[in-house]
Every structure is written in C-alpha cells, then in structure tokens.
C-alpha cells in the first residue's frame, strides 16, 4: 500500500511542472550506483529516472527516483531531490538564445529511502552533489550529464557514502527551441 501511495504522489509531482510557469522541464534517464552501504542497500546497478525542472536561468530542481535493477529486477527504490546551481553560466535564458552549452552543476538536497537500520522508508540522507560535465542545454532539447559524484550523509548511521551517476540524459519536453519559434 505504501508503495502505491508513493507512486501516485510521484506521478502527481511529475505532472504538475508541465503546466506551471517554469523555464523548462526535462525527463531524466540514466544510471546510479550506491557505494558504501552494502548492508542497507544490496543493489549494484540502478536505473535513475525523474525530472529536471529549470527554476531560473541558473537554478534547477532535480527529482530523481533510483530503481534497483541488479540483483533484484525492479527491487527497492529511493527518491532524491536536489537543488542545483550552474557554475559556468546560464543554463537557459528563457528565450530563443541558448544558455552555456558546457557547464558544471553544484547541488544540495535530501534522499527518501529505506536505507535505515530499521528498513523504514523515511528521510534518510542529506546530499551534496557535483556534476563536473554537462553538455547541451534546454534550448537544444537535450543535455548529457557525466560523472556526477554525490556525498550522502546517512542520518541514522552517521556514515558518509558515495552515490555515483556515470551518465544521465535530460530530454526537454518544455523550454526547448520548439517553444520559442
């Protein structure tokens, strides 16, 4: 029952930005690895999926769900929310002019997961993230993010672990060149 409620909340949360007045909205697909908490998270490979929502020309909100693929297909899930800022310039201008094509992201946020000693789904980690390379922008309609390193502080075990995203793709459904013709 709890998983169904979480799924409905995520679907409503994902649909709302399509109609709000944000700069842009992109669908995110990629990979994720949770390194360092083998006793709490047995997965070795996860599918990362979610939304990248442009709040301003330099700020974005990323909502990402990580779904276990190995060893149990479609096993456990975690949801991360990151507020990120570009470091090399505008990510989008909100008009026909593209933002910086190559950028870096620095972000902070939190994770909701069952990676606690009791195994209950709750706010479990505080996050600090660095994405050294992004190529593309919302205006072009897609963006690639490479080598994201996230330090995650587990609020229950007081451990700092690493979340690693090798590659993520953002496909923009709002805010691309098609919207500014």
Instruction: Specify the DSSP class assigned to residue 92.
Output: B
- Which is more confidently placed, 76 or 20? 76
The pLDDT value given to residue 6: 52
**For residues 50 and 28, is the Cβ–Cβ distance under 8 A?**
yes
The pLDDT value given to residue 9: 53
Mean pLDDT (the chain) is 83
**For residues 105 and 87, is the Cβ–Cβ distance under 8 A?**
yes
Q: Model confidence over 124-170: pLDDT tens digits?
A: 899 999 999 999 988 888 999 999 999 999 999 898 999 899 999 99
The domain spans of the chain are 2-180
> Coil, helix or strand for 140?
helix
Q: Model confidence over 4-27: pLDDT tens digits?
A: 555 555 555 555 544 445 678 899
Torsions phi, psi for 165 (to 5 deg): -110, 110
**Does residue 1 register a pLDDT over 80?**
no
Q: Please give the average per-residue pLDDT across 107-121, as a whole number.
A: 87
Write down the pTM of the prediction.
Answer: 0.81
Is 2-180 a domain of CATH 2.40.160.20? Answer: yes
**Does residue 80 register a pLDDT over 70?**
yes
Torsions phi, psi for 16 (to 5 deg): -55, -45
């Amino acid at each position: 029952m709890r998983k169904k409620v979480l799924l409905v909340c995520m679907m409503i949360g994902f649909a709302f930005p399509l109609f709000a007045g944000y700069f842009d909205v992109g669908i995110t697909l990629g990979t994720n690895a949770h390194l360092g908490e083998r006793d709490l998270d047995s997965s070795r490979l996860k599918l990362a999926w979610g939304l990248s929502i442009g709040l301003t020309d330099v700020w974005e909100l990323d909502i990402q769900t990580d779904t276990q693929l190995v060893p149990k297909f479609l096993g456990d899930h975690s949801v991360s929310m990151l507020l990120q800022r570009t470091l090399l310039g505008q990510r989008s201008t909100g008009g026909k002019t593209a933002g910086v094509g190559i950028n870096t992201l620095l972000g902070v946020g939190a994770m909701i997961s069952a990676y606690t000693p009791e195994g209950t789904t709750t706010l479990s980690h505080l996050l600090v993230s660095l994405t050294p390379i992004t190529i593309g922008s919302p205006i072009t309609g897609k963006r690639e993010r490479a080598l994201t390193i996230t330090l995650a502080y587990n609020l229950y075990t007081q451990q700092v672990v690493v979340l690693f995203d090798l590659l993520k793709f953002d496909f923009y459904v709002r805010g691309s060149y098609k919207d500014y013709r």
